[in-house]
Amino acid sequence: MGFFRDLSRQAKRMTSDEEFLGFIKVIESLVSKILSLAMVAVILISVVDLIISLGQDLFLHQPVGFFTTTIIKIFGFFLNILIALELLENITAYLKNHAVQVELVIITSLIAVARKIIILDLKEVTGLQLIGLAIAILALSISFLIVRFMNKRTHNGH
């Protein structure tokens, strides 16, 4: 009988808002740590993939020009790793501050759009797609300026 009474008390305590929010924070922290470890694995595998690709182009193939893989594809590899590093920084910042840092998210988005533009094959895109990319860049840039302005204003005490 005492077991059920203790279990009832535990359940009642867990239904309080403070206990529940504490439980949610623990879950958020655990998920963030798992995502961080997964992102580190993705980054390391991507770096190894880049090294293998560069090594094959430099040492195994008869170079035509310098790389058989187009330089644009190599830039794409580098930018993918940079985006992954930015995502890891976003997760790390969340673990430190327990808040999403909007400025970092916007910067990561700008890098992703820049990557798309750098590796873009102009023969395969329509004018409408280019306009869409231009609007995305403009919107992200304006968002970044607004967030940066608001952050500076908050730090300066206004």
CA-to-CA separations, 65 to 49, 50, 55, 68, 69, in angstroms, rounded: 22, 19, 15, 8, 10
Q: What is the band of 116 on the pLDDT scale with cuts at 50, 70, 90?
A: confident
Helix 71-97 to helix 102-118 angle (10° resolution) is: 170
**Amino acid 17: pLDDT:** 79
Average confidence score pLDDT of the chain: 83
Least confident of 57-66, 70-79, 97-106, 113-122: 57-66
- The tens digit of pLDDT for each residue in 2-17 reads 777 776 776 666 667 7
The answer to whether residues 79 and 110 touch, using CB atoms and an 8 Å cutoff, is no
Domain ranges of the chain: 17-155
pLDDT of residue 44: 96
**What is the mean pLDDT of the segment spanning 126-143?**
92
pTM equals 0.68
pLDDT digits (tens, 9 = 90+) for 94-115: 888 877 788 888 988 998 888 8
